[in-house]
């Protein structure tokens, strides 16, 4: 799944970091720290934009075909995502531990990055999967109001959607991609990435970390989407007897 992104920060092929014996450091410290050392080894002055600010592991539900007889072809790829002051990197970590950079997106501050599951029925972007949904500050127009869908396999942007309000979060399953805003959310089809519906009556919860922007409480499962509404909606009321403000679509 190696690729050159249209916003790739370096020339030449993707970076590869060989595996090392385990140490006393945690997995996150060992892997992200070593990758950061390799990335910054050519510069003595560290730019704050190149400092790793967060890291997380994710998995992709598809993989490139492997030669016949390779027993690793059924193993779900492990992806390490590193967030910087400006941009992100995505590293593929196969069973042999040799990390390979598959995407480097280093133009602006990234607010949201979500790896999209393969749709359950049909797929208009089958040749481009895995896809990520990314919201950053580099897109034209108002900050964080544009969502880009980018191929990890080819590094190209396959679709971009512009909104009037800043994006708070993106949730996804095999049926839908849900884009969350302060008091509403929009649901897109996982296959075509076309819009399906929108809910505009969400209750904006004050940010629990003391931030200035409220959050929109959402939870997306395999079949259900739960959200907080401003008022009781009898047509969407759950049958469990709870009188709270959480309802189900």
Q: Is residue 137 part of a domain?
A: no
pLDDT of the residue at 93? 87
Question: Can you tell me the distance from the alpha carbon of 125 to that of 122, in angstroms, rounded to the nearest whole number?
Answer: 9
Q: Is residue 6 part of a domain?
A: yes
Question: Can you tell me the distance from the alpha carbon of 113 to that of 111, in angstroms, rounded to the nearest whole number?
Answer: 7
Q: Is residue 36 part of a domain?
A: yes
Question: Can you tell me the distance from the alpha carbon of 156 to that of 70, in angstroms, rounded to the nearest whole number?
Answer: 29
Q: Is residue 12 part of a domain?
A: yes
Q: Is residue 196 part of a domain?
A: no
pLDDT of the residue at 13? 55
Domain total in the chain: 1
Cis peptide before 130 (omega within 30 of 0): yes
What is the DSSP-derived secondary structure letter of residue 198? E
Instruction: Return the structure tokens found at 196.
Output: 């399906």
The phi and psi torsions of 142 (rounded to 5 degrees) equal -60, 145
Q: Which residue positions in the chain have pLDDT lower than 50?
A: 1-12, 65-69, 247-249
Q: How many residues in the chain? A: 249
Does this model's pTM top 0.75? My answer is no
pLDDT digits (tens, 9 = 90+) for 112-150: 999 999 998 889 999 998 999 999 988 778 889 999 999
Q: Is residue 71 part of a domain?
A: yes
Q: Is residue 223 part of a domain?
A: no
pLDDT of the residue at 17? 77
């Amino acid at each position: 799944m190696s690729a050159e992104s249209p916003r790739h920060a370096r020339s030449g092929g993707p970076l590869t970091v060989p595996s090392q014996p385990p140490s006393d450091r945690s997995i996150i410290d060992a892997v992200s720290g070593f990758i950061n050392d390799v990335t910054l080894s050519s510069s003595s002055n560290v730019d704050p934009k190149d400092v790793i600010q967060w890291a997380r592991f994710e998995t992709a539900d598809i993989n490139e075909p492997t030669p016949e007889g390779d027993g690793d072809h059924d193993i779900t790829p492990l992806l390490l995502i590193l967030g910087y002051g400006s941009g992100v990197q995505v590293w593929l970590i196969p069973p042999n531990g040799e990390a390979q950079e598959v995407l480097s997106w280093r133009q602006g501050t990234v607010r949201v990055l979500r790896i999209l599951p393969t749709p359950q029925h049909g797929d208009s972007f089958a040749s481009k999967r895995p896809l990520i949904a990314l919201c950053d500050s580099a897109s034209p127009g108002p900050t964080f109001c544009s969502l880009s869908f980018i191929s990890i396999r080819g590094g190209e942007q396959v679709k971009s959607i512009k909104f009037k309000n800043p994006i708070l979060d993106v949730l996804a399953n095999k049926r839908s991609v849900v884009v969350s805003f302060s008091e509403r959310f929009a649901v897109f089809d996982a296959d075509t990435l076309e819009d399906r519906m929108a809910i505009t009556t969400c209750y904006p919860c004050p940010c629990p970390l003391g931030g200035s922007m409220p959050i929109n409480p959402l939870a997306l499962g395999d079949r259900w989407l739960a959200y907080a509404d401003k008022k009781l909606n009898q047509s969407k009321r759950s049958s469990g007897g709870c009188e709270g403000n959480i309802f189900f679509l």
